[in-house]
Amino acid sequence: MFVTSAFAQESAPAADTSHAATEGDTHSGTGVPAEAHGVFPPFDPATFPSQLLWLAISFGLFYLFLKRVVMPRVGGIIDVRNDRISRDLDQAARLKAEADAAVAAYEQELAEAKKNANSIGQQAADAAKADAEAARRKVETALDEKLGEAEARISSIKANAMKEVSGIAEDTTSAIVEALFGGKASKAEIAAAVKSVAG
Amino acid sequence: MAADKVDPIHQFHITKLIPINIGGYDLSFTNSALFMVTTVVVAAAFLFLTTSSRSLVPGRLQSVSEMAYEFVGNMLRDAAGTQGMKFFPLVFSLFMFVLVANLLGLFPYFFTITSHIIVTFGLAVLVIATVIIYGFMKHGLGFLKLFVPHGVPVYLMPLVVLIEVISFVSRPVSLSVRLFANMLAGHITLKVFSGFVVSLSALGALGIAGSILPLAMAVALTALELLVAFLQAYVFAVLTCMYLNDALHPGH
Predicted confidence (pLDDT) per residue in A143-156, tens digit: 999 999 999 999 99
Instruction: Determine whether the interchain pair B116/A62 forms a contact, defined as Cβ–Cβ distance below 8 Å.
Output: no
Nearest-angstrom CA–CA distance, A180 and A156: 35
Q: Find the largest Cα–Cα distance for chain B.
A: 74
Helix or strand or coil: residue B103?
helix
Range with the poorest average pLDDT among A120-124, B46-50, B155-159:
B155-159
Work out the pLDDT band at A19, boundaries 50, 70, 90: very low
A31 touches chain B (CB under 8 A): no
A11 closest CB neighbour out of B13, B58, B90: B13
Phi-psi region of B181 (alpha: psi -120 to 50; beta: other; left: phi over 0): alpha
Spell out which residues of chain A touch residue B13, defining contact as CB-CB under 8 Å. 3, 7-8, 11, 15, 33, 35-36, 41
Residues of A whose CB is below 8 A from B118: 42, 47-48, 51-52
**Which runs of consecutive H residues, i.e. helices, occur in A24-70?**
48-65
What pLDDT was estimated at residue B5?
54
Say yes or no for a CB contact (<8 Å) between A52 and B122: yes
Q: What is the pLDDT of residue A199?
A: 59
Alpha carbons A37 and A51: distance in angstroms, whole number: 21
Predicted pLDDT of residue B252? 60
Nearest to A27 by CA among A18, A38, A43: A38
Domain that holds residue A184: 164-198
Q: With 50 as the cut, is the pLDDT of residue A21 above it?
A: no
Alpha carbon distance B143, B237 (integer Å): 22
Instruction: Supply the mean pLDDT for chain A.
Output: 81
Find out whether B188 and B9 touch, Cβ atoms under 8 Å: yes
| ipTM confidence score | 0.90
First to last CA, chain B: 58
User: How far does B246 lie from chain A, in Å, by closest CA?
Assistant: 22
Q: How far is CA B200 from CA B130, B135, B221, in A?
A: 50, 57, 19
**A182 in a domain, yes or no?**
yes
Among residues B32, B195, B27, the alpha carbon closest in space to that of A7 is found at B32
Tell whether the model's pLDDT for residue A2 goes beyond 80. no
Are A41 and B56 in contact (CB < 8 Å)?
no
Q: How many domains does chain B have?
A: 1
Average pLDDT, chain B: 90
Nearest CA in chain A to B37: A58
Q: Is residue A59 part of a domain?
A: no
CB atoms near residue A47 (< 10 Å) = 24
pLDDT given at position B112: 92
Say yes or no: A80 contacts chain B, CB-CB below 8 A.
Answer: yes
Look at A132-141, B1-10, B73-82 and tell me which has the smallest mean pLDDT: B1-10
The verdict on residue A183 lying in a domain is: yes
A3-7, A48-52, B3-7: least confidently modelled range: A3-7
pLDDT surpassing 90 at residue A33 = no
Residue B85: pLDDT band by 50, 70, 90 thresholds?
very high
Cβ B27–A49 below 8 Å, yes or no? yes
**B121 in Cβ contact with B172 (< 8 Å):** yes
Identify whether A191 is part of a domain: yes
B123 to chain A, any CB pair closer than 8 A? The answer is: yes
Report how far residue A163's alpha carbon sits from residue A170's, in angstroms, rounded to the nearest whole number: 11
Q: Rounded mean pLDDT of B29-55? A: 93
pLDDT for residue B207 = 84
User: What's the CA gap between B209 and B215, in Å, rounded?
Assistant: 10
Q: Between A199 and B68, whose confidence is greater?
A: B68
Domain region containing B19: 2-248
Closest CA–CA distance from residue B153 to any residue of chain A (Å):
43
- pLDDT above 90: percentage of residues in chain A: 54
Has residue A85 been placed in a domain?
Answer: no
Residue A61 lies in a domain: no
**pLDDT for residue B150:** 82
Determine contact: A196 vs chain B, CB below 8 A.
no
List CB contacts of B201: < 8 A, sequence separation 6 or more.
Answer: B207, B208, B211
Predicted local distance difference test score (pLDDT) of residue A85:
94
A50, A63, A68: best to mutate for the B interface, most B CBs within 10 A = A50
**Percent of residues, chain B, with pLDDT higher than 70:** 97
> Average pLDDT of A120-135?
95
Contact B118 A51 (CB under 8 A): yes
Does A169 fall in a domain?
A: yes
Check CB contact under 8 Å for A58 and B36: yes
**Chain B residues within 8 A of A39 when measuring between CB atoms:** none
In the prediction, which pLDDT does A181 show?
80
Predicted pLDDT of residue A194:
78
Residues A158-166, mean pLDDT to the nearest whole number: 85
Rg of the Cα atoms in chain B = 22
Question: Taking 90 as the threshold, does the pLDDT of residue A191 lie above it?
Answer: no
For residues B117 and A178, the model is more confident at B117
Residue A16 has pLDDT above 80, yes or no: no
| Closest CB to B70 among A3, A33, A78 | A78
Q: Is residue A110 part of a domain?
A: no
The whole-number average pLDDT for the span B70-97 is: 94
Residues A41, A164: Cα–Cα separation, whole Å: 167
CB contact under 8 A, A1 and B16: no
Residues of A in contact with B111 (CB under 8 A): 3
Q: Is the pLDDT of residue B87 over 50?
A: yes
The answer to whether residues B225 and B104 touch, using CB atoms and an 8 Å cutoff, is: no
pLDDT tens digit sequence for B170-200: 999 999 999 999 999 999 999 999 988 888 8
Q: Report the C-alpha gap between B71 and B85 in whole angstroms.
A: 13
Q: Does A159 touch chain B (CB under 8 A)?
A: no
Residues of chain B with Cβ-Cβ distance to A67 below 8 Å are 89, 93
Residue to substitute from A44, A74, A83, interface B, most B β-carbons within 10 A:
A74
Check residue B251 and give its pLDDT.
72
> Nearest 5 degrees, angle CA B97-CA A54-CA B245?
45
d(CA B214, CA B217): 5
Q: What is the pLDDT of residues B124-179, one digit of tens each?
A: 999 999 999 999 998 888 888 888 888 888 888 889 999 999 999 999 999 999 99
How many structural domains is chain A composed of?
Answer: 1
Q: Does B44 reach chain A within 8 Å, measured CB to CB?
A: yes
Residues in Cβ contact with B96 at an 8 Å cutoff, skipping those fewer than 6 apart: A62, A66, B43, B47, B68
* pLDDT at A176 > cutoff 90: no
Q: Rounded distance, CA A112 to CA B127, Å? A: 75
Determine, for residues A77 and B16 on separate chains, whether the beta-carbon distance falls below 8 Å: no
Tell me the nearest-neighbour CA distance from B200 into chain A, angstroms: 18
Query: Cβ contacts (< 8 Å) between A72 and chain B: which residues?
Result: none
Q: Does A38 touch chain B (CB under 8 A)?
A: no
